[in-house]
Structure formats: C-alpha cells, structure tokens
Chains A and B, each alone.
Chain A
Amino acid sequence: MKDSHDQASNDGGEEGQQKIKGPINIASDNGNLAAEQKSEIYSLVFREISKCFQYILKYYETHKELLDLAQNSDKIKNHSIETDIIDTIVKLGKQTRDSKTSLNAATCLAHITEVLHCNPEVASPDAIDFMIDMLKDAKNLKHYRQGCRYFANLSFYKDFRDQLIDKDIGTFLLKAIDG
C-alpha cells in the first residue's frame, strides 16, 4: 500500500495538504473566514494550481496530443492555449510569496524549455525576469537548479539567445558560478 500512497512531493502540493489536514474548526462560510485564513487558503489554492500545471507539463507528450486535438476543434480554433498556460504560470510565479508555488512555476517553465522548438512565450520578458529571480536564489538549491535548466535550454536557440543577452544574463550566470 505504501507504494501507491500519495506521498508528499518534495516540491509542492502535499505540504499544503498537511497544513489543513484533519478537521477544520474555522467557519466554512467565506464571509466568516478571517482575512488571514482567507489569504492562507488563496495561497494553498495557488500552490495546488501550480502543481497541477507541473504534472500536466511533466507528461508533455500527452499534453501535446490533447493540445493539438483541442486546437483543431472548432471550439478553440485560433487560440493558443499553451500561451495562456505559460502566461498563467508566470503570473502565478511572480505574484506568490510561497516558495513552493514559485518552485512549481519555475519547474513548469523549465519543463517547457526541454521541448524542441518550444513555445516562444516561455521566453517573454516577464518569464525571463522571473527565472532570473530563481537563478539569483542560490541559497535555495531547487529554485536555482530550475533557473539553470531554463537558461541552459533557452540559450540553445539563436532567437532566445539574443533576448537573453539583452537581459544581461551572462552576468547572472557568472555570479551563479562564483556563488
């Protein structure tokens, strides 16, 4: 049974689960929730969303198949769902103060850069800024590692390379090596 147990992941969702495990005594009605409790639940929901995206992108082939199927359907023609996904992930990562949510978001972006000719939105200025913050976070090894993975993958492409040079990424990388 142990094998199939939904073990706490080292980078996300289950930690949030631990926090409110067991009976919850606070009032369930949104109106009665204290601002602090509400804020904590928002934070936990965002962590769950970021982890969900991480799982979706982890199985990229399945995601791609479903994406192609959906893009070809009449419902969502001419609409890039993947761009929306990346946009949401970047916003999630940039606005959170929760380190697990930011790590999940960084892992998502790094996952996308593993794909050959990945969606260019993954190198938007906001995405690069967010990942520079990850790279700077040398004390937090997991964040730092995702930053390195992201920039190593992006620097493979000439177009992205130019964008990275504009952002003076070389300085950050050298600092990362020295650190």
Chain B
Amino acid sequence: MQEVSKAIRNLSQAEIVIRTLQENGDLIRIIQEKFLDADPFSQENILETVSFACKFEQHREKFANDEKFLEILLSQVQSISLKVTFFTIRICRQLSKDKASITKLQGTNLRLTEKLIIAFKWLDQKITAD
C-alpha cells in the first residue's frame, strides 16, 4: 500500500492523472474504502494526492459534495501522524476557498470551525510538551 500510494502521489503531480482519478471516482473510493485501514505513511500519500487534486475548482467541488469523504477527512485532524494532520488541514483550507464548499464542510454544527479550534489547542499543547 505504501509503495502504491507513493507512486500514485508522485504521478498525480501530472494533471492528466488527477483527471483520470477523478473521472472514475477512484480517489474518493480509495478514501472511502481503504483510507481508514491504511498505515500513516499511506494515509499521507493519499491525502497529498487529494491535495494535488484540490488545486482545481471542479475537483474541490466533487470532494465537498461527498459527505462521507468530508466525515473521513475531518476525523483525521488529530491524527497520530503530524503530516496526516497537516494534509488534512491543508485540504480543509483548499476546500474553504469556495463558499459552497465551506457550507458543506461546516455542516449544521460548525464542525470545521470546531475542528480548527481543537487542532490549534491540541498542537499548542504538543509544542509545549515537546
């Protein structure tokens, strides 16, 4: 999984690869079906691939319209891996560029805001502990 996800991440720097992954819904399917059981290294690679895709508005829209994707994404804010946390928040920031996507990310209980506040407090404590 690590090597495969790494290869996909590297290839996805080419826009055509992102387009293919998105047209077939493969990226969202990987997140929905494989992500949570994957090791932190693979999770980082998968999220970095998603982040590459999020550079494009049409792909951001697709991610933001998938509630299960958003739930899984937001569940990774306090990850065991610092880089998973970083890519999670980076994707949230990329999705937040679009007004419609922010609304989806926030849901009915301002879950994005809540996660950001929690993430800051948590990381601040970790820095103090380090």
Contact across chains for A6 and B44 when beta carbons are under 8 A apart: no
Check B67 for interface membership: any CB of A closer than 8 A: no
Determine the distance from Cα of A3 to Cα of B13 in the docked complex, in whole angstroms: 18
Check A84 for interface membership: any CB of B closer than 8 A: yes
CB distance from B18 to the nearest CB of A (A): 11
Count of interface residues, chain B, beta-carbon cutoff 8 Å: 48
Check A145 for interface membership: any CB of B closer than 8 A: no
Check A5 for interface membership: any CB of B closer than 8 A: yes
* Contact bitstring A58-97, B, C-beta under 8 A = 1, else 0: 0100100011011001011000010011001001100100
Check A38 for interface membership: any CB of B closer than 8 A: yes
Interface of A is mostly: helix
Contact across chains for A28 and B44 when beta carbons are under 8 A apart: yes
Residues of B within 8 A of A44 (CB): 86
Among A5, A16, A49, A95, contact of B116 (Cβ-Cβ < 8 Å): A49
Check A56 for interface membership: any CB of B closer than 8 A: yes
Among A3, A6, A70, contact of B94 (Cβ-Cβ < 8 Å): A6
* Contact bitstring B94-130, A, C-beta under 8 A = 1, else 0: 1011010011001011101110110111011011001
Contact across chains for A75 and B109 when beta carbons are under 8 A apart: yes
Interface residues of A (CB under 8 A from B): 1, 3-6, 13, 16-17, 22-24, 28-30, 33, 35, 38, 41-42, 44-46, 48-49, 51-53, 55-56, 59, 62, 66-67, 69-70, 73, 75-76, 81, 84-85, 88, 91-92, 95
Give me 16 other A-B pairs in contact (C-beta within 8 A), A44-B86, A85-B113 excluded: A4-B58, A6-B97, A28-B40, A28-B83, A46-B120, A49-B116, A49-B120, A52-B92, A52-B93, A53-B116, A59-B102, A81-B114, A84-B117, A85-B117, A88-B117, A92-B120
Interface residues of B (CB under 8 A from A): 6, 9-10, 13, 15, 40-41, 44, 51, 54-58, 60, 80-83, 85-86, 89-90, 92-94, 96-97, 99, 102-103, 106, 108-110, 112-114, 116-117, 119-121, 123-124, 126-127, 130
A–B complex contacts, Cβ < 8 Å, 9 sampled:
A29-B40, A44-B86, A45-B85, A45-B123, A46-B120, A51-B93, A66-B103, A88-B116, A91-B120
